[in-house]
Amino acid sequence: MNLDNIIEITVVIINIVCAVQSCISDHKHRTLPNKICKSLFITNFIASFYFGYFIQSATITSIIFLVLLIVWLIGGFGAGDIKLLCAFSIGIKPELTIACLVLVGFLGGFQLVVMYLVGLMTKTNLFEKGIPYGIPISISGVAFTALSLFSL
């Protein structure tokens, strides 16, 4: 096992642990703690730098941040979701970023349908506390950071 493999496996494990924590926090409290987002950002920053796609990923992450900041300002997206998405996107190869965002959208749409149907069956408004969009972001982020690392 060489150094590259050790780094890849370590990054994936850290991403999975942080993603699980962010899913639990977002589901229970509708918040994404800064320490989780910072850990993810630093880990994925180092990985993208080490494996040579940092400049491109940083550019794309900056664009994602600016676009979603505007969406946040008009009330369409949570700031924690932006932090989490940017923390993952810095570690995703540029050619995989669009696919990651599409998967976030599909998983988010699926989550909304499930929440709506459960709300109908239980006669409760599950959207009252907000939508835990950190869950689809975490699933997509882990999948695509792993794909980025293991497709070198």
Evaluate if residue 113 carries a pLDDT over 90: yes
Q: Which long-range contacts (CB under 8 A, 24 or more apart) does 23-28 make?
A: 23/132, 23/134, 23/135, 23/138, 23/139, 25/134, 26/80, 26/132, 26/133, 26/134, 26/135, 26/138, 27/132, 27/135
Q: pLDDT digits over 81-112, tens only?
A: 999 999 999 999 999 999 999 999 999 999 99
What is the H or E stretch that residue 18 is in?
helix 3-29
Residues 25, 33: contact at Cβ < 8 Å? yes
Residue 48 has phi, psi (to 5 degrees) of -65, -35
Cα dihedral: 147, 90, 20, 127 (round 10):
-110
Q: pLDDT by residue (tens digit) across 48-78?
A: 999 999 999 999 999 999 999 999 999 888 8
